[in-house]
Amino acid sequence: VVFESDCREGVCGACGFLVNGVPHGPVDNTPACRQHLRAFPKATRLRLEPWRAAAFPVIRDLVVDRTALDELIRAGGTVDVAAGTAPDADDVAQPRQQAERALDFAACIGCGACVAACPNGAAMLFAGAKLAHLSLMPTGRHERARRARGMARTLDEFFGPCSVYGECVPACPAGIPIEVIARLNREVLRAGWLGRGRDD
Please report, as ranges, the residues that interact with ligand SF4 according to CB under 6 A.
13, 108-114, 125-126, 129, 171-174, 176
Angle at 61 between CA 6 and CA 124, to 5 degrees: 65
Task: Tell me: does residue 76 bind ligand FES (CB under 6 A).
Answer: no
8 Å CB contact between 71 and 45:
no
Compose the 79-118 pattern: x for residues touching ligand FES by CB under 6 A, - for all others.
------------------------------x---------
Residue 17 vs 105, nearer CB to ligand FES: 17
Angstrom distance (rounded) from CA 39 to CA 123: 28
Minimal distance, residue 6 CB to ligand FES, in Å: 5
Minimal distance, residue 68 CB to ligand FES, in Å: 19
Q: Where are the alpha helices (DSSP H) in 8-166?
A: 67-76, 96-105, 113-117, 124-136, 144-158
Task: Tell me: does residue 36 bind ligand FES (CB under 6 A).
Answer: no
Angle at 17 between CA 12 and CA 23, to 5 degrees: 95
Cβ neighbors of 68 (< 8 A, separation 6 or more) are: 55, 56, 123, 158, 159
Task: Tell me: does residue 31 bind ligand FES (CB under 6 A).
Answer: yes
- Binds ligand FES (CB under 6 A): choice among 2, 8, 78, 100: 8
Say how many residues touch ligand FES, by CB under 6 A.
14
Task: Tell me: does residue 198 bind ligand FES (CB under 6 A).
Answer: no
Cβ neighbors of 149 (< 8 A, separation 6 or more) are: 188, 191, 196
Task: Tell me: does residue 70 bind ligand FES (CB under 6 A).
Answer: no
Q: Which among ligand FES, ligand SF4, none contacts residue 106 (Cβ within 5 to 8 A by kind)?
A: none
